[in-house]
Amino acid sequence: MSEGEPSRPSEQTSPTAPRTQRPKADVLARFKGRQPSEIGDRIHTNIQAARVADRRQAITDDFDAE
């Protein structure tokens, strides 16, 4: 591993990395300059999208199990 590369996968800032692995600064930078209502709306939208994705995955898993 060369100098300057992340030493652990949790230090990577991939946009597809789970939220628990994203550095706090990246999250704060996304919301800088936004109004509180915009942040709440965006969080709500993301939660709803995650729930839909979970439902689709559960349906797919049930279908594959049959």
Q: What tens digit of pLDDT does each residue of 45-62 get?
A: 999 999 999 999 999 888
Amino acid of residue 32:
K
Q: What tens digit of pLDDT does each residue of 9-54 get?
A: 444 455 555 556 666 777 777 777 777 788 888 889 999 999 999 9
Write down the pLDDT at residue 23.
67
- State whether residue 58 is helix, strand or coil: helix
Write down the pLDDT at residue 63.
78
> Which whole number is the average pLDDT over 59-66?
80
Write down the pLDDT at residue 1.
44
